[in-house]
Amino acid sequence: MNCKLDYFIDSHAHLTCDEKTYSQIDDILERAFSTGVKRIVNICTTLESLERALTLRSQYPWIYNSAAITPHDVEILGDAAFPTIAEHAKKGHLVAIGETGLDYYYEHSKAEIQKKFLRRYLHLALDQNLPVIIHCRDAFKDFFEILDQEYVVNNKHAAGVLHCFTGTILEAEEVLKRGFYLSLSGIVTFKKSHELQEVAKFVPLNQLLIETDTPFLAPQSKRGKSNEPAFIIEIASFIAKTKGISVNEILETTSNNASKLFALQNP
């Protein structure tokens, strides 16, 4: 690819989420590297995945870590895990706080508990000057309300990204209005994702990220398989076609955006 960057970034992957994925990590990362994906933000959603992630980064310095307990699990895991996540944030082991947020579609944790932990993680991000990675599904009204109350510095929203966005154009407008990045995953490539494909056309390049959400949500041609960072190229190609621009422009711009958001230093 004739691109100014010599690497691309997968802005959201769960490389250490389970033993099955982690047992294949060397092969997964070799395939990523060979396709040009040479920076990955690894998302830790349990203390076990965070422990594996710290080991992984010591072996692969181009892997960067973020951590939080997801809204699904905060009712059970939230209180026990928060101090350890906060400690690693303070030690500089994390490039972001997340994924945190609200999910009322499943509501595996009570809404009030989800909101309590969203506030706690937003405060941690502010305290440590880190961006947040947000998961939000069927809960945008409450999310925007909390964001506007808790995540503003000098009359401006602090930094963050709405990961794996699957909302409407109106919801996308509200995300972008607050200065957040909006990240698209392999879902945008699915044949029935018509509204999300309209969002892909709409979101400006300077606020767009792309992600695989490995090992979940493989893009259309790989559906049914375990996802991995090497597949980011298919997602970028689809969005490029949707926007009528080159795949190199998508890869380069979104990688620059991710590098800026997460303040990624060269390994």
Per-residue pLDDT at 2: 45
Contact 259, 9 (CB under 8 A): yes
Per-residue pLDDT at 7: 86
Report residues of the chain scoring pLDDT below 50: 1-3
Per-residue pLDDT at 106: 85
Per-residue pLDDT at 266: 72
Per-residue pLDDT at 267: 65
CA-CA distance, 228 to 66, in Å (whole number)?
18
Per-residue pLDDT at 4: 61
Two tokens at 23?
A: 């047992």
CA-CA distance, 176 to 19, in Å (whole number)?
36
Give domain limits for the chain: 70-223+255-262
Two tokens at 19?
A: 């033993």
Fold entry, domain 70-223+255-262: TIM Barrel (3.20.20)
